[in-house]
Structure 1
């Protein structure tokens, strides 16, 4: 039975309208993060803070640099002895080239039941769900069991230096009592074939290892023999890194994902034959195949300035990712692949994460999804990339990826997030805010 003052599904009709409007209006605020400190989230932060204030909260806006704005607010729970829960979402988005899109990427256009624009999935829709939920609670007089700290952050799409990293370093007191947190990259519909709807919940992340490789050789004329050619030495290391086949390392979250996905597909969970098991998982293999091992992908090369001059220096960048417990192996292998002539260093490093999949919080997320899609299948998974949860983990906060959305089969979350024509269905947003409301009341 619905709670007093709420709609049929536990949250009022105004919230179902607001989550759509807020998503559209947030998209219209251009918060493009170009990296290197080039971004401005101030207008979006003021927008979010105003809506939180209207719900009776006392939000604060915090900046490390002008325009790089973060918002933090706390909802007091009914149980003062309970641990607090962090609910966080980032306000910045990756760039969008308007000429590639079917619509203006910052229009927030709502057409044929779809909200279009950069950030529709990543992750202004989740920001909108949080705002709509909090406001619905204020209207209905709902209070959660545990304190909930809400954080809207800057700079997640770059280094988090101006966002969650800054908050964790300079404003840790705002997160006092928080032991767990939820944010992006989980709780969305993944279509697994044959009508299967799978909802992966993030319970781990590979660590980030962005590397810079450098080779120092002997400069010289391009027509002369030169055994100390920096370009040649660097190219050899880059080729070895790109061709390296990292060994399978099954961390607990990935083991749990494989085991539960095998049950969904009625397959034996033979973890000694992972390649064979992936075949049996069909499309759902995509949820685990990038987190079976460490990885390192060369992404940029820098060398030379004239065709007939052998340069003294050459450099490259590599996007590395490390599984929990296998950081030392990553470093050892990079030493071997680079060899004695190429040096490497971390440009940006964050630790890998793991979260328990047998916790009451995970169970509450699972129950909330299944309440609104009883035929769905909720499974844990490890994210191949990273989120702001890495920054908040420095405060002892265990992070989960849970920003619920029901998506139709033609919407691929991984394809549209950061992609062209990013968009989200209206009914998917309304499903998401219902699920988020139900979870936060249970958590």
Structure 2
């Protein structure tokens, strides 16, 4: 990156951190963001293809030729479409930077929300709407920055590609990212991709404490526990009861913790978080890095569900079903156990561990559902990727450390990684402890947070686009 990248970073450092009022092109960005958020893209009543077409129209108005815009629609799914846009670089042989964002959203019922979930409302320093944060904030930011680059005449060495896709939320849509990997891999080919899933963590007082980078995800597999029994009349109870067998099995799983596992990402996370975490939590993070078998340190860290999720594989009971009549002994009882599996661990290993923990041949354990994506070591934390993030982040949030972390949930990054494109979650979006109420009622994002993130991505992508391979 060398001279040009350094110059761009120097320019970023010399520029006051976002909070300019208004930012260049802010009014146009707000209009784009509003249009995208208010385009319903739920599975039940929405249309991702319409949202993709509207973003394509904005890019075309900004000067993008039709040859650089591809609205793709999976066969037989007219509302599950997406958009790939290409902004050429100076070097046609250079590998691109890919910007990935999903445009589908989870369901939202008007009767449950304080405000109409599909009308963007600005109130008290926040934008409220379904998708205001997840993930239409990032989709709008990425689309907007391509428009800004076109208007300003910016030309980096690398091409920049944008993929707006449907189906990340898993509600029934075709997964657009996976579809592109399987059917249009050349269209999205890139040196690496930027994705959702991370941001600036704020403490309870709104102070930035860490800027996280998603550098690995767990895989999700559900297992079915089942007990069958001849049953009988409830007036003649016997110890061999399907519900009792199942209840004891679930209780054993609830009391079991998988061994602590660390990889490059989580070692880095705990090492850096230990420096800014006070008291026994910080000490426990230091101890667990030195010795993953330290049971005392693990016990302290497991008190925090978010931290516990990064310590290794986790399994939890999520569904129960048993019996066929209130006056009959149960003939069948089953439960769903959802496991988030640490990178490098196979689903079969987890199944074997559950069987051993349950230790009851009356309880069968079978694989019920495997979410697409294989747990792996995650994308490499190379200087090419991490240095620009640190430099631009420091220019905007001085003194706030950039910390890679492992995501216990999942994003479309798995599909890209499986297709050979290293993918990193980095957004610059600042999140309060409630995480913007993502997937919940009254989803929101801070107005300043959104505008700061817009500026962060604008600066960061310029640096990446000017890099050497």
- Name the counterpart of 1:47: 54
Unpaired runs of 5+ residues, structure 1, are none
Q: 31, 34, 47: which one pairs with 1:24?
A: 34
In 1, the alpha carbon distance for the partners of 2:298 and 2:258 equals 18
Kindly indicate whether residue 67 of structure 2 is the aligned counterpart of residue 63 of structure 1.
no
**CA deviations over 1:264-289 (Å, ceiling 9, x no partner):** 4586633225864996x9x9x67533
- Report deviation, 1:102: 2.3
In 1, the alpha carbon distance for the partners of 2:425 and 2:456 equals 14
- Report deviation, 1:116: 0.7
Residue 309 of structure 2 aligns to a residue whose secondary structure is helix
Q: 328, 331, 356: which one pairs with 2:380?
A: 356
CA contact (8 A) 1:153 1:164 kept: yes
Residue 200 of structure 1 aligns to a residue whose secondary structure is strand
Label 1:228 to 1:72 Cα distance change in 2 as closer, same or farther (>3 A).
Answer: farther
Q: Number of matched residues?
A: 431
Residue 243 of structure 2 aligns to a residue whose secondary structure is helix
- Report deviation, 1:345: 0.9
In 2, the alpha carbon distance for the partners of 1:358 and 1:274 equals 32
- Name the counterpart of 1:230: 242
- Report deviation, 1:308: 1.6
Residue 111 of structure 2 aligns to a residue whose secondary structure is helix
- Name the counterpart of 1:416: 437
In 2, the alpha carbon distance for the partners of 1:158 and 1:195 equals 33
Label 1:334 to 1:170 Cα distance change in 2 as closer, same or farther (>3 A).
Answer: farther
Unpaired runs of 5+ residues, structure 2, are 1-6, 465-469
Q: TM-score, normalised by structure 1?
A: 0.87
- Report deviation, 1:379: 1.0
CA contact (8 A) 1:24 1:109 kept: no
CA contact (8 A) 2:351 2:366 kept: no
- Report deviation, 1:196: 5.0
- Name the counterpart of 2:186: 173
In 1, the alpha carbon distance for the partners of 2:451 and 2:305 equals 26
- Name the counterpart of 1:334: 354
CA contact (8 A) 1:63 1:162 kept: no
Equivalences for residues 139-288 of structure 1 within 5 A: 139-158=151-170, 161-176=174-189, 178-191=190-203, 195=207, 197-225=209-237, 229-265=241-277, 269-270=286-287, 271=289, 272=291, 273=294, 276=297, 288=307
CA contact (8 A) 1:211 1:344 kept: yes
The root-mean-square deviation of aligned C-alpha atoms, in Å, is 3.1
**CA deviations over 1:316-347 (Å, ceiling 9, x no partner):** 22221011122254232123245433232141
- Report deviation, 1:230: 3.4
Range 213-222 or range 107-116, more displaced: 213-222
CA contact (8 A) 1:218 1:229 kept: no
Residue 424 of structure 1 aligns to a residue whose secondary structure is strand
CA contact (8 A) 2:436 2:445 kept: no
- Name the counterpart of 1:291: 310
Label 1:103 to 1:192 Cα distance change in 2 as closer, same or farther (>3 A).
Answer: closer
Kindly indicate whether residue 338 of structure 2 is the aligned counterpart of residue 325 of structure 1.
no
In 2, the alpha carbon distance for the partners of 1:194 and 1:347 equals 39
In 1, the alpha carbon distance for the partners of 2:205 and 2:274 equals 14
In 1, the alpha carbon distance for the partners of 2:143 and 2:34 equals 13
In 2, the alpha carbon distance for the partners of 1:263 and 1:39 equals 45
In 2, the alpha carbon distance for the partners of 1:316 and 1:298 equals 7
**CA deviations over 1:79-116 (Å, ceiling 9, x no partner):** 33332222111111122233333211111112243211
- Name the counterpart of 2:430: 406
In 1, the alpha carbon distance for the partners of 2:355 and 2:72 equals 43
Label 1:197 to 1:17 Cα distance change in 2 as closer, same or farther (>3 A).
Answer: farther
In 2, the alpha carbon distance for the partners of 1:234 and 1:304 equals 12
